[in-house]
Amino acid sequence: MSLDEIKIGGMGASRRRVEDNRFIRGKGKYVDDVVLPGMLHMEILRSTVAHANIKSIDTSAAWEVPGVRLVLTGEMMAARNLAWMPTLSYDTQAVLATDKIRFQGQEIAAVIADDPYIAKDACAKIVVEYEQLPAITNPFMAQDPAMPIIRDDKENQPTNKIFDWEIGDKERTDQAFAEADVISTIDLHYPRSHPSPMENCGSIADYDRATGKLTVYMTSQAPHIVRAAVAMVAEIPEHQIRIISPDLGGGFGNKVPIYPGYVISILASILTERPVKWIEDKTGNLISTGFGRDVYLNGQMALRKDGKILGMRMHTISDHGAFYADAQPTKFKIGLMHSTFACYDVPAAHLTSEGYYTTKAPGGVAYRCSFRVTEAMFFQERMMHAAANDLGMDQAAFRRVNLVKDDMFPYRTAFGFLTDSGQYDKCMQVGMEAIGYDNFKAEQEEARKRGKLLGIGISTMTEPLGAGNSREYDIIGIKMFDSAELRVHMTGKAILRTGAKTQGQGHETTWAQIVAHELGIPADDIVVEEGDTDTAPFGMGTYASRSTPVAGAAVAMVARKIRAKARKIAAHLLEVSEEDIEWELGRFYVRGNQERGVTIQDCALAAYSNIPDGLEPGLENNAYYDPPNLTWPFAAYFCKVEVDAETGVWDVLQFVAVDDCGVRINPMIVEGQVMGGLTEAYAMANMQYITFDEEGNCIGANYMDYLLPTAWETPGFELHEVVTPCPHHPIGAKGIGECATVAGPAAFVNAVMNAIEHTGVRNVDMPLMPNRVYEALQTGKDVSGMPPVKVG
């Protein structure tokens, strides 16, 4: 009798998340919950201005505060060659400012004291004299030759431009435009947003001079990358560095970079020989740590009258803040922006990009996104929307003409990606039926007679999830593969460790389900551990929806290695040759005699108690997995809104999300991912952005200005699924963590635009706040969100 896979918590089981047992009881262990004997507390003094030469820093009064143990400045860091550190994009970033302030919130000094209150009191006593320089709050200001050079610390940096980059075939694309019947254009700004995990960043550095060992508890999505970076920067040998990422209260890309606070706490621990805890506050997190987006997107599309896309051009101008600190693979300067239009059959495409320094916080992290894919797909779907209107074609019909057909896979995109699977048109059909697409036009007209403005918006996309392969994808040169290590104990229970790092995704639940699927060991019998570099195998961490595509594949592969060894043991136990052994879930049996068999638990026991001659004892192994390709999930989202013409307020009437992420390991967790992503997408479309005033002050430094939606205003979402297994992934799964964040915003925006574009408006930049929508309705003109916000 074969096991019931759902009952043992295998593939397809909506198993309750095992980690929630501790989270909902308040028993999670986050960095701030760690208390070490003799621990000191660190507070960072941040700049109040955006751009200024530092004339002087006087820390003498801070040293006088009782309980203060150490006050660190950039000068002291510089003495140890730690005033600057490398970023993930081969730039440098100031740890503590020595020469100049380059954004509001930049780290100037740190106080280490007996308790955090004292540290905060002492910080307030540090006197900094500034000589203010003009704030440069967008790339167009940065282009102005009259503006000062922000990175005057660098040689060969005569302007504020960071890079020019291009990809695609210019000639072929020009040709396509020459042959076009219609050319459609669009200009967009994807505003700066912040991943804003509930838990801010923090670290506890504990340097033991007796052993030479440095242990750092840290809020990191990628602890092994941190270990490598610390080994390089701090000149501590890698085997003497232990990075522990305990429970993380969300990450969303914000906890990929290495922040000054981590580095300062490490030096502070070395100098004081005491553990030093640094916990950032919410404002510190919002104003200084890795932001997302902040890109101006210009596009043109060459179209044939019948709706066929002939080619597209895209130009991006991106604002990277004071230090180019994007987390992205080396060979791409603007992430995977060129994944745009991957789901459409576009014969020719050309992308050009410029990046600029500004006096804003650095980052450019992949906020719930595979390296700028969010911007790429938002651009794509806003461009598609505009093009359908310019052609006078129905939005759904235009997309269905151009979506890659099922029989075209594998499909090479104009920018060189290889998409491998999908049922795009089927997803469209499921979504159109669920939202009643065919009735909408009549509904819209009828509503208009009653003075109501209804709109419908579509967003479809496939995105490249699960970097590597290692041929093309790396972070600071470290190739993007991942790993898993599985030990099956004598009693058939097991421990699994991977190089990924869960931060809410539910790895402790889903990884066990993969093992259950491969070995028939009940998921409840498997404990999953991640985040401790002394115990976990080397891996690149969790972001860019890469865990299931890469680490999840490694889990399946290591389980298969275990099964292969168990088969040898089973043959020994059953006294037949290995070739005569058959496998069913959880059990080996003798071919032709299904009654005669042994369970995987029997094999585990034998591995420690009854080993055949010539076989090593034990039942454990590891696997490093380098995926042959990215995974390509597909999303088709449909949104229906009503706009209040008198106020510009809009409400979502219905939202239908069709996701194809291949085989679903835990459908409940997939649904949770989609709901969470759509909530973030709604936030970006509706209310959320970080902007700056003319002086470079960050507007969005707290949760009263930077808005996170609550259950109160977040609309309901109807979820549907289509399953096209990934052809190369061992269990057929594709990434899903970010699909909704990536595809979601354009669905909302296209819906609102559909409701108001009878006035002639083509674009309102996100967030579509009531005032912007109202202005567009009144004027019929585009509303640009270009900062800075003028006050007064």
Q: Which residues bind another protein (CB under 8 A)?
A: 43, 116-117, 119-121, 124, 281-283, 646-647, 649, 686-687, 691, 699, 702, 704-705, 707-710, 712-713, 769-771, 774-775, 789-792
Look-up of token digits 């389980």? 559
Q: Which of 17, 12, 15, 3 is nearest to 733 (CA)?
A: 12
Q: At residue 733, what are phi and psi to the nearest 5 degrees? A: -90, 155
Known catalytic residue: 368?
Answer: yes
CA distances for 518 relative to 600, 605, 665, 757, angstroms: 11, 18, 12, 53
User: What is the rounded CA–CA span in Å between residue 165 and residue 477?
Assistant: 19
Q: Which of 368, 372, 382, 546 is catalytic?
A: 368
User: What is the rounded CA–CA span in Å between residue 247 and residue 503?
Assistant: 7
The identity of residue 52, as a single letter, is A
Q: Which two tokens stand for residue 253?
A: 């890309």
CA distances for 335 relative to 34, 152, 371, 427, 756, angstroms: 35, 26, 5, 27, 33
Q: Which two tokens stand for residue 621?
A: 């192994």
Q: How far is the CB of 652 from another protein (least distance, A)?
A: 14
Q: Which of 738, 757, 762, 772 is catalytic?
A: 738
Known catalytic residue: 698?
Answer: no
Choice between 614 and 792, CB closer to another protein: 792
- Do the strands 698-699 and 718-721 form a parallel or antiparallel pair, or are they unpaired? unpaired
Q: How far is the CB of 518 from another protein (least distance, A)?
A: 45
Known catalytic residue: 738?
Answer: yes
Q: How far is the CB of 414 from another protein (least distance, A)?
A: 39
Q: How far is the CB of 27 from another protein (least distance, A)?
A: 23
Known catalytic residue: 688?
Answer: no
Choice between 491 and 702, CB closer to another protein: 702
Choice between 624 and 774, CB closer to another protein: 774
Choice between 43 and 375, CB closer to another protein: 43
Q: How far is the CB of 69 from another protein (least distance, A)?
A: 17
Q: How far is the CB of 691 from another protein (least distance, A)?
A: 6
Choice between 137 and 502, CB closer to another protein: 137
Choice between 425 and 775, CB closer to another protein: 775
User: What is the rounded CA–CA span in Å between residue 499 and residue 487?
Assistant: 15
| Residues in contact with 570: Cβ distance below 8 Å, sequence separation at least 6, in sequence order | 581, 588, 597, 598, 602, 603
Choice between 437 and 689, CB closer to another protein: 689
Q: How far is the CB of 790 from another protein (least distance, A)?
A: 7
| Residues in contact with 762: Cβ distance below 8 Å, sequence separation at least 6, in sequence order | 186, 386, 389, 753, 782
Angle at 131 between CA 127 and CA 132, to 5 degrees: 115
User: What is the rounded CA–CA span in Å between residue 254 and residue 196?
Assistant: 7
- Do the strands 276-279 and 40-46 form a parallel or antiparallel pair, or are they unpaired? parallel
The identity of residue 439, as a single letter, is N
- Do the strands 718-721 and 650-660 form a parallel or antiparallel pair, or are they unpaired? parallel
Look-up of token digits 């760690």? 34
Choice between 135 and 555, CB closer to another protein: 135
Alpha-helical regions (H) of 16-156: 20-23, 60-64, 74-79, 116-123, 139-143
For residue 196, what is the DSSP state?
-
Choice between 279 and 573, CB closer to another protein: 279
Choice between 593 and 647, CB closer to another protein: 647
The residue length of the chain stands at 792
Helix (H, G, I), strand (E, B) or coil at 23: helix
Q: How far is the CB of 646 from another protein (least distance, A)?
A: 5
User: What is the rounded CA–CA span in Å between residue 74 and residue 14?
Assistant: 51
The helix (run of H) or strand (run of E) holding residue 277 is strand 276-279
Q: Which of 123, 201, 343, 369 is catalytic?
A: 369
Determine the distance from the C-alpha atom of residue 554 to the mean position of all C-alpha atoms in its chain, rounded to a whole number: 20
Q: Which of 259, 253, 270 is nearest to 202 (CA)?
A: 259
Q: How far is the CB of 705 from another protein (least distance, A)?
A: 7
Instruction: State the burial class of residue 791 (Cβ atoms within 10 Å of its Cβ: 0-12, 13-18, 19+).
Output: exposed
List the 127-132 sheet strands across, edge first.
100-101, 52-58, 127-132
Q: How far is the CB of 712 from another protein (least distance, A)?
A: 4
301 - beta bridge partners?
Answer: 184, 312
Residue 395 neighbours by CB distance under 10 Å = 20
Q: How far is the CB of 700 from another protein (least distance, A)?
A: 8
Q: How far is the CB of 54 from another protein (least distance, A)?
A: 23
User: What is the rounded CA–CA span in Å between residue 23 and residue 664?
Assistant: 24
Q: How far is the CB of 768 from another protein (least distance, A)?
A: 11
Beta strands in 557-688 (DSSP E): 581-584, 587-590, 593-599, 620-625, 634-643, 650-660
Residue 648 neighbours by CB distance under 10 Å = 21
Choice between 348 and 783, CB closer to another protein: 783
Q: Which of 221, 380, 513, 601 is catalytic?
A: 221
Choice between 271 and 789, CB closer to another protein: 789
**Contact between 426 and 722 (Cβ < 8 Å):** yes
Cα torsion angle, 91, 94, 98, 100, sign = positive
Choice between 35 and 791, CB closer to another protein: 791
Look-up of token digits 């699927």? 517
- Residue 782: left (phi > 0), alpha (psi -120 to 50), or beta? beta
Q: Which two tokens stand for residue 576?
A: 């037949």
Own/partner contacts of 575-582, CB < 8 Å, gap of 24 or more, are none
- Residues with a catalytic annotation lie at 221, 368-369, 738
